[in-house]
Every structure is written in structure tokens, then in C-alpha cells.
Structure 1
């Protein structure tokens, strides 16, 4: 019976093959080799861990992992404030995703975890979906007070952040499976730099209230920067002087340490851990002087000990978060893959953009069931991981274990940590982004269009918010592409004697035309939108009586024929393939 079925199957496949005349794959296409290759692609750790050179790499990875973990800890606490969730969730987000990336990532040097821009975007959505006004506590029956139910508000914001992270993970994972890594090319360097500079403005504005110790609501959406600054200025007389002094001291100290690390990076075996010093010292001062009780200095507050059990996100929130999740997914991926490629180029290896999408997607999706918010890689931590000798993601794994130690054992120690110290950490980490303002004069000299992209990305993101600002910036960048193809640069080329070069005869005196031949060059393809301009330019530079052209697509030829015929005394022959023809 079995042989009869096998024979009928073979007959079916051979008949179908002969009918369609298409070579069908063998029934054994899913061979052991292909399955192994698929597994190795999906789990890159299996390609490098078996051959891990323990003697050469382990010590460097241990030093790098501990150094990065020391930086990861205060940044996790600080960036949770940007995400509008309690600080402990920043620690969760600094553990689970970092652990998972070790298995799925292809970069050896980037440090996965919390990142200011992504955290701020999440915080904006969380505040929009769970504003303070939804959690005002009633007083005296029907009367309302301005007291906010912080516990209920934070719980709701955590739910929003978790669902958002789940969606971000799904989008990134699906994009990776569909090989959509190319989407990052639409986020050009001027666009990304203008966008991140605007994000830095948003971050600094959001931290002013913690630095000054004033209690103002957090705003999101269009013009949120203006509303936030206005609220802080209107309440400036309520500044807590103790909070301000402590914050300024932390700011100055961190700036000096950052400058020393930069100046003496070749002499220092590892960077001075300024952030953890600030966290430890400010926590000790706050605890010893009772800053929270006696001086009303805002502190981190309760940090639960241990990890939370896995739980399902509140999927009822999905419909209102889809659009935001796309923006966060693309920004997170573009930041991660661009930095991964920089380190890969520096150290002579390659990264797979699509696998990076899959890795980030899995890190976000799986971690979201453990109450984390969306992550990507951090420039500052990645530089620490690389500069301290990190060779592989074993360093990242060890940095996550440093955070785990704090979560399960000593998290309560950081409960007196002043919020103003975390605000100082955030602000100093953004100095590199503010240096991007130097791009403006450089782009003015090199490319006005690139400058326009930078400015549109910056202004739109500052005024409209990061989500709408990103959409406007991408749309404008696409418009500039259309503009460039509609207004191509054209020239008549001449041969430079003694070389194989052909240059613009108007720009190079050495370039000479051949007698009786005009070589016309355009730096853009011909299509319906630029055919008129193309012909007008061709008409100016070349006498249209007999022109040799190469045509590939009929639509281009038809568009060109109808316009050239109006300027020539002879008809134009339309070619049907990619061949050399003469327009007569």
C-alpha cells in the first residue's frame, strides 16, 4: 500500500513538472544541512560560542561586562523616568533583553538595553494614554482635589508600556522575517541626527522639573515642549533649593568625569564610572541627611526585591498603540543596526541587518511578558563595552548579571536615590546629541538639501512630538528624492587627453569633445516626471538632429519620444529592448 502511494506521488510530481516545465524541488529539500544553517542563522551564538577562545577573550569580556553593568544600572533607573514608569522597570529592561540578545544578536560590541530616545517615545505614549487627570482622588464626597493616585496611574502606564513593547517586538520580528532590513535606508543620516537632536531637547525639558524639584504635569503630543517649559517657568518660584544644588553638583561632577574619560581614554585602563559614583554618593547623602523627609527632595522610592512572574499584556490597549509602535520599532532598529555596523566595520566583521531586526524583535517581545519597556542599543554603553576590551556578547551577558544582582539582592539600597541625580545622569548623557548642532554649518557648505532634511526633522520633532515629527521628516526626505530626480544635473562630456576620463566640458578645460559627437550625461534616470526637463536641457546642450541613446524601458521611451519629436525635424525610433539605437 505504501509503495503504491509513493509511486502515485512520483507520477504526480513528474506529470506536473512536465506540464509546467518548471524544475520542482526535491522532496528532501529540507535536508539536515539546510536545517542546521537555518538554526545557526537564527541563533548566531551557536556559531561563535563553541570556538570561544577562553584564554584570549574571557578576562577582557569579564572586565568589559562588569564595567558596562555598572553603567547599565544607573541608566536603567534614569531612563525609566523618561518612560514614565517606576525605576525598577528600568532594571527589568536592563536585564531580560540584554540576556536574550546574547543568543540572537550578530554584533559583538553593542550594548542592548534602555535608550533615552526610545524611552522618551514610550513615556510620551504612556502619559497620553494615562494622564494624571484620569487618576485624581476625590475629596469630601463630590469635590475633587489635585491629589493623584500615583499607584493606579503608574500601574496603568506600565500596562501601556508593556503592550507597546509587545507590539514593537512583533513588528520588528515580522520585518526581520520578511527581510525588511532595508527600511533603515529611508532614515538618512541628516534625518536621524536632526531627529535625535530634537529628542535630546524633549528629554532635557522633561527633566527640568526633577532638577528644580517642582511638581508640574508631564505633557505629550504636539507643542508638548512649549507646554512643559511654560509649566516649569510658571512654577519656578516653587524651586526646591536643596534639590537644585544637589542636581547641579551631580551635573558638574559628571561633566568633568566625562571630559576626563575622553581626554585620557588611551591612558585609563577603564573609564571612570562617574554615573555609579553619583548614584552611590547621592544615595548615601540622601539617606544620611534625610533629604526626603526633612528637605522634601524627591527620591526613587520603593524598589521591590526580586523578579516579577511572567504575565500577559493587556491586549485591550492594542488598537490605540499600533501607530506609535511602528514609529518606535523603526527608530529602535535604525539606532541599533547603524551602531552595530559602525563597530563591525571598525573590527572587521559583518552584521546581518535582518537578523538584527529578528533579535531586537525577540528581545522586546519575550521580555514584555516580564514587564519591560522597549529597548535598543545605547551609544554610551556600547562605547564603554568596546573601549574596556569587550570581544563578544559574553560581556553583555555579564552586564545583565550585574543588574540581576541588584534586582534580587540589593535593590532596596537605592530607594533614597534622589531623582535630581538621575536627571543629571540623563542630561550629561545627551551632550553628544547636542553637539550635532555642529552639523548645520557643515551641511550648509556641502548640501542644502541635506541641511533642509536635518532642519525639518529637528523642527517637526520638537514642535509636533517625536512620533509625528518622524513621519514628517521621512515624508520630506522622500520628497527631496523626487525633487532630485526631477532636477538632475546634466552635462556635455569631453575626453581628458591621456586618460580614460570623461568630464564636464564647462567645468574642466582639459576635457575636449570629439568632432561630430556630443556625449550628453544626466545623473538621473528618465521617467515621466522629469522627461520635460530632460528634453529642455538636452535641447540646450545638444543640437537634436541625430543623437545616439540607450533606452531600456518602453515607458521611458514613450515619454521621451513625444517630447523630442517636438524639437527634431526627424522622427524618433522607439527601441524595444536594451540595445543601442539612433534617434533620427
Structure 2
């Protein structure tokens, strides 16, 4: 029984006293805990439960699939509507130029960026769980799509008028094919996200750690920036993809740097300086400005007017956006013939897109006190991509820059996103033609300035150097691999390396010996804390890792090293001691005379002196008695000598394995621990386990861990229970805790 007293001392410090017997697993499982009886359900019963319909379950399913129904009926119009209107218009104004610009990254005509800024945003309003993120085109995803589109539809496949003359490309045919590839890829991305969401695979985002994502997106910013140099300088180079594409693109641009269009460069530089200045003003005075200055839309409107008024395309050969068809495209079925070549790319885009979306969604949800569902976010993004692809869109996700604008301008719900999509719709239907004279270098400037936030992630390096070298390595590997190998292979390498770091951490855990803090039940690292003292005759071994096939040998080696008790070495020393003891004993026996020799010596002396026969017999008796006494004394001396050599192998009589950090153990780990127990038993050292959770104990029973000589009475719920048991067994009373 356990008696608990809580007393309040004069100093207002609560004192907690516990009086109970020492618990071991045998007592706990038989006396304290009893498993609830549950009738196992058949497969049919489980299926019937899943598909059983009720009004509550139907309502729950509808609300989970359409989260808008959970908050729209109670939407506070007076409090939220004005903020959502201002936020929606501000985000929509930003959405327009970014949609046009990111279409260039996706290697499709600019109007498809507008389509991708309308349909997905409209759908996310109904299916998304975040109230603040801005869904639409995003630089990283657009660049990944563009790489696939260029790979599947290179310029060489579309010679002008059937000729093979270098440099003559049928632009319309090439763009049409790239749109087909981008749309088919988006369809596949949507299907993958839907499939993962339905199977409740929202947890896959945890494998994309923050350092990995930030290193990857920084590398993507490098790719994006390099890809825009040709538009910024107005040079004609082909688009590269795959490993070392950044290097090839830079070489191609610098080779043709002498053919730079000066007018294009000047326009680009002016727009870059203006956008950077506006962004800096918005950042410095964000608390004083009611809404951020819409620098991007100002640049687009002014540069479009200048380009139209000065005829930059005709007079100065400045590349412009070109024809933007008015109205929406009718729905069409994507070209599924290209899907087999796009599976790997679609998986990468689906995971990256979801990771970016859920990361931003969680940030805003934490800030404003609501929750987001990772699985529903997967379904929402999947529906946005899949359904929108029938209307000629490319894959989307949330944008960091637009989400910050949507939140900072007073947006409270996805009504703001709905209004921004309606603003884009207005441009598509009515005034899209206005942007036809827009120079492409302006879009390049918009893209490059928007990358500043990603390039600032380089500041992570010194911070990670101070906090975590392993996370710094993940960041660097993700960055370098993605820059050199391309975003698809780079992401694969980064994820693989991140998983390897997990294995490395479990294979190289920190192992310590614990000591007791005096007059408490606390046990801490003896190397780190002065107050932690080892218990006499007891070693408490702690390793902060689970035990499985990859680290079981390392665990055993670390145990022997830290405790200083190696049974194999000690047994070898015992054999050597026995051999030395026997050798020394034999030497002493040889040095002493035998009884026969003593008898002959006495008899000879008697004959020489003429001693009578009776005296000789008496002397012989004395000699025999003396000889027997010397033999017994020699034997006793030999035994004491051997006993002195063969003292106990080590002063440790018990080893406690702290299993508090152990979450799981496989069959290899269980066999290793069982072998340890048997091995230490050969040198009379008892090994006990402490701090096993109930799940681990259940696993050990399944693995048939408890069989001779291992029994449940060596399992203790706490380290303190194990220490008290071992001290009692070892006869140690030096610690007050034993009393």
C-alpha cells in the first residue's frame, strides 16, 4: 500500500512524503494493474462501424469536408467584413502581377498564371481550414513545373515550318505543348494530394523539417533568380533543366552578355530599385500604414503605360507579355498520355506544395488561436489542383508574401481570398488586354525582389551553428544538393539525408551514469552535476535512445565502457589469477620436505648416535606428527593465498538499465538485453530494468523476453524502486533512502 502525505512547511514549501513497498513488475501486474477485458472485433464489425451512418456522423463528415460551414453561419459581419474587403483587394492587387510573373517560371503564357490565381483560390475558400493563407501561384512550385515542361517539350521538338534551322522555333506549338504538360502534371499532383489526404497521410510533412524546407527554398530562390536573368538582361538563351542547370544557365547568360538589350536592362533596374524601396518602406512603417503600398501593381501599371506610349517592343525590341485572351477557357480533359513520365515530379511537387501550405497555415493558426487539419489541407490542395487543372491551370500552394499581406491588412477569414479571386476574375474577363504591352523584364524584377525574403534565410546558418550542428548540416545539404542537382533530385537527397541524421542520432545517443541527489528520488548525470553521487555497488546506466537492430551492439558496448564492468575481460582475469595462485602454491609445496625425507633424516641421526630402538619409535611418532602439521599448515597457507588472489571480480553487484527514454524495442534489441543479463550473471552481477512504459512491456512480452533467467521481478517502475531493491539485496545501508 502507498501512503502519501503533503505537508506545508513554515516557508510555504510543500513537502511530499511517500511510504510504500518497493514495486517490481511482478507485483504491479499481479496486484495493482488488471487489463480490461475486451472482446476482439471481427473484420466485418469494424467495417460496419466505419460505414455505419448516423445524423451526427454525416454532419461531422460534411463539416470536415467543407470547413466553411463551421464558421460562415456565425460570421461577425460588423467586425470582420471591412477588414476582409481591404485585405482581399490588397491581396488581389498583388496576386495579379505575381500570377503573370510566375507563369514565366512555369514556362507557360502569362494568362495561365491568371487562371491559376482564380480557380484554386475560389475552391480553397470552401475546402481549406486556414483563414489567413493566400493560395495561388508560388515561385518554387512554378519553377519546378517549368523544369518539367521544358524537359518534356524542348525547343528542338518544334522547328518553325518543319525546318531544322537552329534558333527557329514554332513558339505557339511549343507553348501549347508545355501548357498540356503543366496541366497534366497539375492533375497528377492533385490526385496524389487527394489520395494522401483520404488515407490520412497528413503527417508526411513532418519529414520535411524546417531546416530542410528553408535550405531547399533558398536553393529554389537561386534557381528562380538565375532563370530570370535572361529576361532581366533581354538576352536570348535556352532554358536548362536537371543537374547543374544553374551553372549552365549562368554560363549561357554571360556568354551572350554582350547582346544585352540596354532598354530592357534599364527598365528592369528602375523597377527593381523602386520595388525594393517600396518593400523597405512597407517593412519600416508597417505599423503606421493602414495598408501596404501596392508597389507591384504600381510598377505594372506605370511600365505598361510607358511601354505602350513609347512602343518599346517595336522601337527598342523589348520583350513584352503579348496576347492575353479575354474570358475564361472552357473545361478540357488533360492529356493523360504524358502522365507516366511525370510521376516522380508530381510526388515531389505535391509534397513540397503541401509542406509550404501547412507550415504557413500552422503559423497563423497558432497566432490567432484556431486549429488547422493537415489531412483536410491535403484534400483541399488536392481538390484545388485537380479540379482547376480542367480549366488550364498549373499547380499552386500558399504564398508567403501574399499571406503576410492578407494577414497584415486586416484579413480575418477566407472571405478575403474569395474577394481577391473575384478581382483576378475581373481582369481575366474584362481588362486582361490592358497588360499585353507589359515588358517581361518588369515581371522578372517583381520575381527577383520577392525572392529577398528567401535569400534572407541564409541568416539561419550562424543561428544553427550555435544551436544545432546536425540541423545546420541538413540545411547546407538541402541547399547545395538542390542548387547543383536540381530541385527534384535535390529534394530527394535532402529527405534521404534528413532520415540518415535520425538514424545517426539513434546510433550515437548520449550515454551516462546516473547518481542520486542526496535525500531525494532524483537521479542525474554524475559527470555533469556535483550533487549526483553514485550508489555503492550499483551502476545506473542511461542512454537516450530506443534499442533496435541498428544500435543494439552500440548500446552493449557503451554499457560496458561507461560502467567499467566487462564480463569477458573480468573472467579472463579470473582465469589468470587462478593460474598464478596454483603456480605459487605448487612452488611452496616443492620447497618443503616430504615426510619420508624427514623420517630418513631422523633415523640416520639415531644410528650415528647409537640411540635405542624405543627412542627411535618415539621420535618417529613425533616426526610424523610434525610432518602432518606442516602439511596442513602449508595447505592452509596455499588456500589463503588463492583466496587472496581470487577475490570478487568487481565491486559492483547490480546494474540498473534506465529504460525511461526507450520507446520501442525490436527482437534484435530484446535478444541483446537478454544476453547482457545472462553475461553479467556469470560474474555475479545482477542486471535490472527501470522505467519501462506499459507499451514497451507489452512488446517485450510479445517478443517472449520473459523466460529463464529473465523474469518480471527484475523490472521496476522507477529508478528509485530499482535502487532500493538493489541496495537491500547487496546489503548496503549507507544511503538513507534504504531505511
- What TM-score bracket applies, with the shorter chain setting the length? over 0.9
Distance 1:37 1:483 in 2: 43
What's the counterpart of residue 128 of structure 2?
105
Change (3 A) 1:523 1:26: closer
| Aligned: 1:575 with 2:689 | no
Change (3 A) 1:470 1:580: farther
Distance 2:185 2:221 in 1: 22
Q: Which TM-score applies when normalising by structure 1?
A: 0.93
Change (3 A) 1:500 1:407: farther
Distance 2:155 2:526 in 1: 67
Change (3 A) 1:565 1:106: same
Query: CA deviation digits over 1:362-386, x for unaligned, max 9?
Result: 0000000000000000000000000
Distance 2:108 2:461 in 1: 35
Q: Which TM-score applies when normalising by structure 2?
A: 0.74
Match for 1:254 among 271, 275, 296? 275
| Aligned: 1:548 with 2:656 | yes
| Aligned: 1:130 with 2:183 | no
Distance 1:246 1:198 in 2: 27
Report matched runs for 1:225-264 at 5 Å: 225-264=246-285
Following TM superposition, by how much is the alpha carbon of 1:528 offset from its aligned partner in structure 2, in angstroms? 1.9
| Aligned: 1:198 with 2:215 | no
> 1:371 aligns to what SS in structure 2?
coil
Match for 1:417 among 434, 438, 441? 438
Following TM superposition, by how much is the alpha carbon of 1:208 offset from its aligned partner in structure 2, in angstroms? 0.2
Q: Which moved further from structure 2: 325-334 or 33-42? A: 33-42
Following TM superposition, by how much is the alpha carbon of 1:28 offset from its aligned partner in structure 2, in angstroms? 9.1
Q: Which moved further from structure 2: 200-209 or 566-575? A: 566-575
Match for 1:37 among 60, 64, 68? 60
> 1:217 aligns to what SS in structure 2?
coil
Following TM superposition, by how much is the alpha carbon of 1:91 offset from its aligned partner in structure 2, in angstroms? 0.1
Query: CA deviation digits over 1:397-446, x for unaligned, max 9?
Result: 00000100000000000000010000000001010111111111222222
What's the counterpart of residue 299 of structure 2?
278
What's the counterpart of residue 199 of structure 2?
178
> 2:541 aligns to what SS in structure 1?
strand
What's the counterpart of residue 329 of structure 2?
308
> 2:122 aligns to what SS in structure 1?
helix
Report matched runs for 1:14-93 at 5 Å: 29-93=52-116
What's the counterpart of residue 523 of structure 2?
502
Does the CA contact (< 8 Å) of 1:527 and 1:559 recur in 2? no
Change (3 A) 1:294 1:28: closer
Does the CA contact (< 8 Å) of 1:535 and 1:564 recur in 2? no
> 2:331 aligns to what SS in structure 1?
coil
What's the counterpart of residue 365 of structure 1?
386
What's the counterpart of residue 8 of structure 1?
none
Distance 1:484 1:61 in 2: 47
Does the CA contact (< 8 Å) of 2:234 and 2:261 recur in 1? yes
What's the counterpart of residue 154 of structure 1?
175
Equivalences, count:
566
Distance 1:37 1:19 in 2: 24
> 1:271 aligns to what SS in structure 2?
coil
Change (3 A) 1:20 1:186: closer
Change (3 A) 1:314 1:20: closer
> 1:518 aligns to what SS in structure 2?
strand
Following TM superposition, by how much is the alpha carbon of 1:512 offset from its aligned partner in structure 2, in angstroms? 2.9
Distance 1:253 1:80 in 2: 22
Following TM superposition, by how much is the alpha carbon of 1:527 offset from its aligned partner in structure 2, in angstroms? 1.2
Change (3 A) 1:181 1:513: same
What's the counterpart of residue 13 of structure 1?
none
Distance 1:207 1:35 in 2: 50
> 2:292 aligns to what SS in structure 1?
coil
Change (3 A) 1:28 1:248: closer
Query: CA deviation digits over 1:82-131, x for unaligned, max 9?
Result: 00000000000000000000000000000000000000000000000001
Query: CA deviation digits over 1:455-501, x for unaligned, max 9?
Result: 11111111110000000110111111111101111112234457765
Report matched runs for 1:327-406 at 5 Å: 327-406=348-427
Change (3 A) 1:18 1:84: closer
Does the CA contact (< 8 Å) of 1:138 and 1:145 recur in 2? no
Does the CA contact (< 8 Å) of 2:547 and 2:666 recur in 1? no
RCO greater where, 1 or 2, for CA within 8 Å and sep 6 or more?
Answer: 1
Following TM superposition, by how much is the alpha carbon of 1:19 offset from its aligned partner in structure 2, in angstroms? 11
Distance 1:156 1:87 in 2: 15
What's the counterpart of residue 3 of structure 1?
none
> 2:160 aligns to what SS in structure 1?
strand
Following TM superposition, by how much is the alpha carbon of 1:324 offset from its aligned partner in structure 2, in angstroms? 0.4
In structure 1, list runs of 5 or more residues that go unmatched. Answer: 1-16
Distance 2:324 2:166 in 1: 28
Change (3 A) 1:364 1:537: same
> 1:569 aligns to what SS in structure 2?
coil
Match for 1:288 among 303, 309, 329? 309
Does the CA contact (< 8 Å) of 2:549 and 2:666 recur in 1? no
In structure 2, list runs of 5 or more residues that go unmatched. Answer: 1-38, 566-652, 689-704, 716-721, 727-739
Distance 1:463 1:21 in 2: 50
Change (3 A) 1:502 1:278: farther
Distance 1:425 1:553 in 2: 54
Following TM superposition, by how much is the alpha carbon of 1:143 offset from its aligned partner in structure 2, in angstroms? 5.6
